Each structure stands twice: as structure tokens, then as C-alpha cells.
Amino acid sequence: MSGTPPPPLRADVKIRKNHSQGETTYILKEPDSGSYYRFDAAQYLMLTLFDGRKDHDALVSAFDAASDEYAYDLEALASLIDSAREFKLLQRSKKEENIALLEKMKADRKGRMLQAQGSLMLMRFHLVDPNAAFEKIVGHLRWVWTPMTVKASLLLMGVAILVGISQASRFSEDFQEVFRFQAEGGWNFLKIWLVALTAIAFHETAHGLTCKNYGGDVDDMGFLLLAFQPCLYCNVNDAWMFENNRHKIYVAMAGIWIELVLAACAVFVWLVTDINNPVGRTAFMLVTISTAASLFMNLNPLLKYDGYYILSDWLQVPNLRQNAIDWFSHWLKTRLFRIQDETPLRPTRRERRIYLIYGSLTVTYLTILMSGLGFMLYDMVANSVGMAGIVLFLWLVAKLTKMLTGSWSKTLKELGMNALFKTTRRRLATAGGLAVFGVLLFAWSPQISIATKGKVDAQFLTMYAREGGFVTQVNYDAGRRLTVAPGQPLVTLRAPGLDLERARLLSRRQNQDLNRNRALTTGDRKLLQRMDIEARLVDEQMRALADRARYLTIAAPAGDWLVEGPPPVNLEGRYFGAGTTLLKLMPARQRHINVVLSQADLALVAEGNTALIQLRGDAPAILVGKVWRVTPVTRMDGNNRLFQVRIHLHIPDTMPSPPPDTEGEVKIYGEKVPLWLHILRPIRQGLRADLWI
């Protein structure tokens, strides 16, 4: 006997047999989590032999007796048992059932709170379990999936297309009228968005009802944020368990089909109405949105929407997209660039053709799409949103690029190194060319100027309440100027708690004096010694109390300061806790402007460099400044470290001190640097390379 007999499969596990490309697999659905697991024929046969009585040796023997095609060993059996336990497919003990029930109750409570699931770019929010409702609805709608209905809908769409073609001129005029976002404003955009959301609701409901019609369960429906765009979803993963491959295709096609049917019906409504009528306008929006979304997005097999799943199920090639991209990448490396690369998978001859065609089309399509969108959106984001938008935009581009390229950055680096340094002749040619290029670029070193923006700031001095209390005296005027000399009380506090503590200690001291006199009278030495000890303790507490009382007076610092805070009348009588801020003091004349430079630009600047500053405002002024201090900013921008440069301002006596947070344009005259830096810097700025290099 070896190994504890594994329990049998749970009775509530759903099992479906699947045939694809001559291979038989079994899909098991764990009911608690709704997760799906695929097993091959040998693994499933072994799972069916689990009865809770056979140990490992007996199971292997039973398997060998039941199968002439496959063989099983103890190691493979142990791995299968571990997987089945991990997937929660085996019967559980009563204790395990209770634990699972508690976990399910916790999950249900979390579900009521709309817990978001997914990644940042795809967040799902469960709203409802529509399975029971779909069960009732499908019973009355069986006719929808009959051949007669399909033929009638095809005829309807065909007639609608002919009507649309015959009314092409009117369609063009109405399109320009309805989708004039600038002229119509946000209300028109909201109406279009609501129509689109309604079409998506029908789309997802069609997926769910079709899945239910062919025997699947639909237990999850809600809304999601797809790249921060709200829309709806319906989980039809049960279609994976369908034995009939056509039913999977029908489920994937149902959303597109219902949108096209709705669009066809809306064509006839638009035909007999005018877009100035709310009904006609809504119908026209439904025609354009549903048709465009269905034909150019959902039906496009190169994007991972319904068209992709239809193609994948039709070809009976699971995980088509990722496998095709991996295989196409491997083909490029080995055939085009002659690079040794490990084969990512071992497809059949038919799959190789499919992967090569689909992979090349997908990579080409996504590259063109990303490049076009990138060039179109970059200037808009850079000019309207600023640095935060640029960083987010580049992050999205990097994510999509990584999805397309995978390990290609490393491959291109290896290709470049081989092209330049693989042979001695190549190394010599490369070295000679670099030497000539370096001489040209490093021969001239003019002074460089760095244009940036900044904000006026001052060295604030914060005054804290070291002991909690009520403000009794404030020595600055309504103009926020100090009215006392340095070292004199600026703010005085009174702490009732300290007063009570002092009174308590004085009362305790009086009691000690009485006890001491009684001890002297009676000659009680022990009492006398104890009173001496307590007296010393009270003295220490009184000294500590006096030290704390000194903190109630905050002295004015040396220098010419202005108070950055409320008027004195608003401060008197207020309570401040220990450690809280009482006042902030700002120098009356000293100002500096803070600018942030990248590490590359910082190398061009040194302390003492001259700067010109043009402040914004009603009366713009140009000031001269000197680079005063360089300190690291407490953040990283990608791989780039940012530095804060403080420029000390020379403020003329005839000019008032600019208030903090005043913005201005700053031009720093930096060091003399080689010409190549003058050439590189505008290129880097134009590409915003300082954000990601």
C-alpha cells in the first residue's frame, strides 16, 4: 500500500468532453469559483478511478487494466492528485466543507460591495447573477435561434444596406450634423455615449442568452472600465465547455448579430423621420455606432474581441493570438536575422501556417495602428495635459509596444553589436567612424542656455507649539510684521493643564510639610525619611513643570520676517496642541525661484551661473538671479532622476517682493559644453526623452 487513497471527484463538478483537431480533452468546472480546468484523456480516465478506497498502487493498476493506449506512473499520479486538490475538484471532508462555506459567504459579502477585479486597464465590477432570469427568458425566445429567424434577419440587413446606399448623400449630411462635437457641445456627446451604452447592453445580453440557449450557465454580469472607458460585460466562459464547436461560434457571434439587427431596424426608422426629431436622431446614432462597432472593432479578428474568438473557434486553435505572435517572432529571428532562438512551441504543419499568417497580420496591423495613434495623440497630450499626461501616454505606448515586441529589444541590441563589432574589420571601421565623428562634435564648446519654468518660493520658518495651550498674546500687527525685537516673546500660550499640575504639586508639598513636622515632633525616623524622598521627587517634578512652562513662550527669531498666517485677532484665544504649527514666518525681502531639471540638464548647470527670470502677473518683471543650490527632488520620473535648482533672486529696492507661487519663465546660462550637447538637447526635448531615458 502506498499513498493515501484520494477522494473521488465532487458530484457538483461539471464535465464536458471536447474534440479538437483529432484530440480529446475534458473540461471540468469548479462550481464555487467558476474556474475551468482542462485535462487530457489519460488524466480524466485516472480521475474517474478515484473512489476514496484505492491507494496509489491500486489506482495505477486499475488504470493499466482500463487503458490499452496510455500508461501512468506513481509520480504522474501524485502530481495529478495535487492539482485536483489545488483546483478543489475532489470531495471534501465535513470540516473542509464548512471552511469552504465560510469562504463563500465572505466572497458573497465582498461581492455586494462591487469589488473591482482585473488590472488597471481592465477593471470589472460584478452587478448581478442573471442565470435564473436568462433561464426564464430563453424559454420564450427559442425561435430567435431558428434557421427561419436567421434567414429573416439576413434579409432585413440586406434591405437595410440597399436603403443606406440609396440614401448615401443624406447619410453623409446627417453624419456631419449629428457628430459635430464642437458645435453641439457636451450634451450631444452624452447622448451619443448613452446610445452606445444601450447598444452594448443588447450586445452583452445577446451573448448571455445565446450561451444559456445552448446549455451554458451565465452567472456574472456587470460593467467594466476598459482603458477607463465605462461599458458592460457578460461572462460566457461556460461556452468553453460546449462539445459542439459551432455553438461556441454562435455565442461569440450573437453580440455582433443583435447589433446589426438593431442597426437594420434603425435604418427604417431614420428613413421615415428627420434627425431633428429625437427619435430619428437616436435611430441614426444607433445605425452608425452599432455598424461601426460591429464591423470595424468587434468583428475585426486582429483585435481581441468577438471576431478573434470566432476565428479561433472556427480554426479550432486555442490561444491563437499569443501563439501566433510567439511563432512569428521566432520565425523572424531564425529566418530573417539568422539568430539562434529556442522554439517557443511545437505546432503542427497546419498550425505553423496559421500562426505565420495570423501573427504577421497582427503585428503589422498593431504596429501601424499604434504608430498612427502615437503621432496623432502625442502633440495633443503634450500641449494640453502636460508632463503627467505625457508620462501616462508613454506608459500606455510602452505597454502596447512590450506586448508586440516581447524580447525584441534584446534581439535588436545583439544584432547591432554583431553588425558593428563581430569581425576585426567591422571593429576597425566602427572605431574610425566614431573617432572622426567625435572630433567634429567635440571641437567647439559654446555656452549653453537652458529654458525652463519655475515658481517663486521663500525659506519659510515654521514656529511650533512645543506645549499645548491657549494663545494669550501675539506680537505682530495686521500687516503681518513683527512688533518685537529678536529674542522677545512673539507668541505666548497658557496651559490650564500645567496650572492644575502646579497646584496639585503645591498641595502635595503642603501635605509633605505637615507630615514632616509631625515626624519631627514624634521622632518617627521612617516617616521623616519617606517625606525627604517624596520632597525630592516633588522638586524634580516642579523643575520639569517649569521647563515645560518655558515652552509656552515662543521668541521672535533674528532677521526681517513677515508672518504667513491669520491676523492676530484670529489667533488670540485659540488652542494649539503640542507639536502643531502656530505660525509660518517668511523673509520680507529674500526670494528664490525653484526649477526642476533632469539629470542630463543638471550636468550643464553649476552654482553661481547667471539666470534671467520673467515673472508673470499684471506687471511682468525681468529679474536677474544666480544659481544658489541644487538638491535632489524626492521622486523619480521613470529611470530619470530629477533635481531641484534654487535660483536666488536679486530684487531691486524699488520693486516689491514677489509673492510665493508666482510663476515665471527661467533662462539659465550654463556651462560651456561641446557642440554635441547643443544638438542633442533640443532633440531630447522634442521627443520628451528626458522623461524616459
Model pLDDT for residues 270-298, shown as the tens digit of each residue: 999 988 888 988 999 999 999 988 888 88
CA dihedral 515, 521, 526, 531 (to 10 degrees): 30
Which parts of the chain sit beneath pLDDT 50? 1, 111-116, 118-121, 689-693
- Confidence (pLDDT) at 114: 42
Helix (H, G, I), strand (E, B) or coil at 454: strand
DSSP E strands, 557-600 = 561-564, 575-576, 581-587, 592-598
SS3 assignment, position 670: strand
Write out the three cell numbers for 638.
Answer: 521613470
- What is the structure's pLDDT at 1? 45
What is the predicted pLDDT for the residue at 186?
A: 66
Q: What is the predicted pLDDT for the residue at 99?
A: 67
| C-alpha distances out from residue 170 to 121, 184, 191, 534, Å | 39, 19, 21, 102
pTM of the model: 0.54
* Three cell numbers, residue 311: 476565428
Q: Which residues contact 315 (CB under 8 A, 6 or more apart)?
A: 354
Q: What is the pLDDT of residue 113?
A: 41
**How confident is the model at residue 684, as a pLDDT?**
65
Cell numbers linked to 83: 492539482
- The pLDDT value recorded for residue 259 is 93
Find the distance separating the first CA and the last CA of the chain, reported in whole Å: 64
Nearest to 243 by CA among 43, 45, 9, 25: 25
Work out the angle at residue 644's Cα, subtended by the Cα atoms of residues 643 and 649, and round it to the nearest 5 degrees: 150
pLDDT of residue 96: 66
pLDDT of residue 357: 93
Residue 241, φ and ψ in degrees, nearest 5? -90, 0
Q: What pLDDT is stored for residue 115 in this prediction?
A: 45
Q: Which three cell numbers stand for residue 136?
A: 426564464
- CA quadruple 619, 620, 624, 628: dihedral positive or negative? positive
| Rounded Cα distance, 684 and 51, in Å | 69
Q: According to DSSP H, which parts of 551-689 are helical?
A: 568-571, 599-602, 675-686
For residue 505, which of 517, 493, 494, 513 has the smallest C-alpha distance?
513
**Which cell is 458 given?**
521663500
- Residues 450-488, buried b or exposed e (16+ Cβ, 10 A)? beeebebbbeeeebebbbbbebeebbbeeebebeeeeee
DSSP 584: E
